[in-house]
Structure 1
Amino acid sequence: MRLFSVSTLLLFFSSSGLALQIQCYQCEEMTHDCSTPEFIVNCTVNVQDMCQKEVLVKDDGIHYRKSCASSGACLIASSGYQQFCTGKLNSVCITCCNTPLCNGPRQKKRPQQSAAFPVGTPHVWLHVFVLLLSSVLC
């Protein structure tokens, strides 16, 4: 019973965003936005903690590059190319994000949740997990 409880808790917390691995879309020089399931990859645990998206405007249209990235490398690249992100011919825009599949198409804005109890806050769930785990194992 304890093993079942611990397994259930671990599954719950890994699906709630506390996992240390992120999924991103990955493709090279595609002329279409490669945001479909066959382009989803698992990034390297504890190394690649962000998704990166490059949008290049060329003579023959818009090209996309998407990948996993480390936060340092992605943020340096995006800041280095900021001056070239014009939306015109030869434009290069690089963006970084840190939620699963965030380098895909833009998400529609959702209505804001109530601020009474921030359920999605990871540190709150971590405390709840530790308390439940200690009560199960004791």
Structure 2
Amino acid sequence: MPDHPQNRFEVRPLSEEDGGGWLVTFPDLPGCMADGSSIAEAVSEAADAERSWLETRKALRVPEASGRFVLRLPKTLHADLGLRAKQEGVSMNTLAVAVLARALGAEEPPGGSSGKTFGQRRRLTLPEGIPGP
């Protein structure tokens, strides 16, 4: 079994108020985290936490997200989305992902199927009422 996590993870220091040390979290595995007094210890503990998280998901038969779902829209909303996407020079899918990600609190929308991030592509102007970073 690997000593390092297989999924993308983030490491950050913990404040003394929180006990000090380091915290490892997995953005793609909700609730999966581990800590340690050193980065190496936290990462090693994170590998165990990741393994347990994945085993639990499998035991509970929680399906993996495919990254795809179909959404029915009113014709006017579809037209508005298409117009805004054209104005921004992006696909309707890219715009919809950006708006949903921001509405759910993401600081930076996830990369599209091309693997690029919005920082590498054109920055989007989000509709009024959707908070930006």
Regarding TM over 0.5, the answer is no
More strand per residue: 1
Please report the TM-score for the alignment, with normalisation by the length of structure 1. Answer: 0.21
Please report the TM-score for the alignment, with normalisation by the length of structure 2. Answer: 0.21
